[in-house]
Amino acid sequence: MKKVKVYVTLRESVLDPQGSAVMGSLHKMGYGEVADVRIGKYLELVIEDSERDVDALVNELCHRLLANTVIEDYRYEIEEVVSQ
C-alpha cells in the first residue's frame, strides 16, 4: 500500500486573488514582513497495491480530476505504508 501526498498550486503566471486577500489581511494585522501568499490544495491518497504503476496512476488522477492543468501545477510524494 502507498500513501501519496499531492500538492496543487496555481501556476506562477496565474493571479491568485485569494492569496492577495489573505496577504492584505495579514498586513492589516501587523504582519508586514509577509511578502507573498499563494493558496493551493493538499490531498492525501492511500493507494492499494496493484499491477498499475503508481506514478502513472497519480499523474492520470491529477490530469483528469485533481488539478486543472491549464492553470495549476502539481507535484506529489509517494511513501510506502508499513503495515503493523
What is the structure's pLDDT at 69? 96
Residue 73 burial by Cβ neighbours in a 10 Å radius (0-12, 13-18, 19+): middle
What is the structure's pLDDT at 84? 62
**Rounded CA gap, 16 and 58, in Å?**
25
**pLDDT tens across the length of the chain (84 residues):** 999 999 999 999 999 999 999 999 999 999 999 999 999 999 999 999 999 999 999 999 999 999 999 999 999 999 999 876
What structural domains does the chain harbor?
Answer: 2-80 (3.30.1280.10)
What is the structure's pLDDT at 7? 98
What is the structure's pLDDT at 82? 85
**Rounded CA gap, 39 and 21, in Å?**
10
